[in-house]
């Protein structure tokens, strides 16, 4: 039965009483505010803060992003920045070739957890071990969302996916791989952080982490990685409005946010 109870306190234009606009709705580098991702997905928020940081650091004309395959890849149809697309999981290897040929560019990968850890774990470990002056960004929701909601190598114990609604059981599937924690121990790695986009203060911190990672690359300090926990209510089989809460309770408790390896002191 459809609920026909009138909504009060919200005008027809969608702006609550007393609210005021404090910033542009979309950054100039996003050519559209529309996307084809599911309701409640956290990826578009990560896209926004990425292009804002590129703009702030004047990297729009001297940056090259490398993407693999996944829901997040739709950014290439929306953001007015340069991207290359490569085979599943191989973005760090391709980015290495780009950076060595064009060392004056800010080169970064944008990958999902399925792409980076399930498909390309060797690639990200080797790029970190080499200390390449490249930034890798992982949008981590613990789900192969683009292919139907299967478990990935970062799915946390007990986390639901559409292919296992009972949640990940370590006896059957093992434990998640915390790639950010692993690469933070490598000598050639300059900066590692884990952020989230489930609430405003987390978004603000994640934005600072992205900026710090690119600044580290620009100073030639070494490899940098930022993991961003994003929401996937569809893949988790939870109601859309409960995605952020589910992330905090199920994923945030076992993947602490913050700088796992701060930048070197100067």
Residue 37 lies in a domain: no
Task: Give the DSSP H or E segment for 173.
Answer: helix 170-173
Residue 20 lies in a domain: no
This prediction's pTM = 0.87
Residue 203 lies in a domain: yes
- What is the C-alpha to C-alpha distance for residues 145 and 71, in angstroms, rounded to an integer? 7
Residue 27 lies in a domain: no
Residue 204 lies in a domain: yes
What was the pLDDT predicted at 12?
Answer: 47
Residue 26 lies in a domain: no
In a 13 Å sphere around the CA of 178, the CA atoms on its Cβ side amount to: 16
Nearest to 132 by CA among 102, 159, 164: 102
Residue 32 lies in a domain: no
What was the pLDDT predicted at 265?
Answer: 80
What was the pLDDT predicted at 143?
Answer: 92
Residue 28 lies in a domain: no
Q: How many domains does the chain have?
A: 1
What was the pLDDT predicted at 14?
Answer: 52
Query: Which three-class secondary structure state does DSSP give residue 227?
Result: strand
Find all residues with CB under 8 Å of 75, minimum gap 6, and list them: 43, 47, 50, 67, 83, 110
What was the pLDDT predicted at 29?
Answer: 72
What was the pLDDT predicted at 56?
Answer: 94
- Owning domain of residue 243: 43-261
**Domain of residue 162, CATH code:** 3.40.50.970
What was the pLDDT predicted at 17?
Answer: 65
* Residue 156 DSSP label: P
The list of the chain residues with pLDDT below 50 reads 1-12
């Amino acid at each position: 039965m459809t609920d026909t109870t009138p909504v009060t306190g919200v005008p027809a234009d969608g702006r609550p009483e007393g609210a005021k606009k404090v910033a542009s709705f979309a950054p100039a580098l996003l050519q559209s505010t529309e996307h084809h991702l599911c309701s409640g997905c956290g990826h578009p928020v990560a896209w926004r803060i990425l292009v804002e940081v590129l703009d702030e650091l004047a990297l729009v004309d001297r940056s090259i992003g490398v993407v693999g395959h996944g829901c997040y890849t739709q950014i290439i149809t929306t953001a007015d920045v340069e991207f290359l697309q490569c085979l599943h999981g191989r973005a760090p290897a391709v980015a290495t070739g780009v950076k060595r040929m064009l060392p004056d560019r800010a080169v970064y990968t944008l990958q999902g957890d399925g792409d980076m850890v399930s498909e390309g774990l060797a690639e990200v470990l080797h790029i970190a071990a080499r200390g390449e002056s490249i930034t890798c960004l992982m949008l981590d929701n613990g789900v192969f969302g683009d292919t139907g909601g299967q478990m990935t190598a970062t799915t946390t114990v007990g986390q639901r996916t559409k292919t296992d609604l009972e949640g990940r059981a370590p006896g059957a599937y093992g434990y998640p791989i915390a790639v950010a924690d692993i690469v933070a121990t490598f000598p050639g790695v300059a900066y590692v952080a884990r952020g989230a986009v489930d609430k405003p203060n987390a978004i603000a911190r994640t934005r600072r982490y992205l900026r710090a990672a690119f600044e580290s690359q620009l100073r030639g300090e070494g490899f940098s990685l930022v993991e961003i926990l994003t929401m996937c209510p569809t893949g988790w089989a939870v109601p859309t409005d409960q995605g952020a809460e589910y992330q905090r309770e199920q994923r945030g408790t076992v993947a602490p946010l913050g700088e796992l390896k701060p930048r070197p002191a100067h």
